[in-house]
Structure 1
């Protein structure tokens, strides 16, 4: 069973926030959204966060994205999204270190 949005965000009951409104409209775990709608929101939010993030992507990252989309099964792509979200939120990133690590 999925955890409610409040588990992942700063939402608290009766706070009048957009998160409260979304939870009321689509359910505590967004169960009233289709999978496509959830993926669209992931994409829309990720694009905006990417645009606000400093720096640029190395060319090979575009290739990795294409490779993931063309060769990984759906379950692995979903798992990769989950792993990347976890790393964005809680992990260290290259910008957190002084060295640059090229792909091999």
Structure 2
């Protein structure tokens, strides 16, 4: 069983927020949204967050993502996504070293 939206966010049921409306329409755990639709939401949100952050992305990261997409099972890809989301959320990020 999935946890409700408020477990992961600042949402409080009945607060009249955007999250409250989404929860009312799609369920407390987004159970009325398909896996495919949830992946679309993740794609859009991740892209938006990435655009808001400072800095560039190393070219090799696109290669790593392509290799993962081609070679990992669906379950392992979802697991990598979960790991990355947790690392982003809780600040477990490497700091790039910039050489002059």
Q: Could you tell me how far apart the structure 1 residues matched to 2:49 and 2:11 are?
A: 19
CA drift at 1:89? 0.3
Return 5+ residue gaps in structure 2 as ranges.
Answer: none
Per-residue CA deviations over 1:17-36 (Å, capped at 9, x if unaligned) read 01000100000000000111
TM-score normalized with structure 1 length: 0.90
> How many residue pairs get matched?
98
Q: Could you tell me how far apart the structure 2 residues matched to 1:34 and 1:77 are?
A: 17
Q: Which residue of 2 aligns with 1:100?
A: 97
Q: Which residue of 2 aligns with 1:39?
A: 39
Q: Could you tell me how far apart the structure 2 residues matched to 1:80 and 1:94 are?
A: 16
Q: Which residue of 2 aligns with 1:85?
A: 85
Q: Could you tell me how far apart the structure 1 residues matched to 2:3 and 2:13 are?
A: 15
Taking only aligned residues, the RMSD between alpha carbons, in angstroms, comes to 1.3
Aligned residue for 1:94, secondary structure, equals coil
Query: After TM superposition, where is structure 1 displaced by more than 4 Å over at least 4 residues in a row?
Result: none
TM-score normalized with structure 2 length: 0.93
Q: Which residue of 2 aligns with 1:10?
A: 10
Q: Is the 8 A contact 1:23 1:30 kept in 2?
A: yes
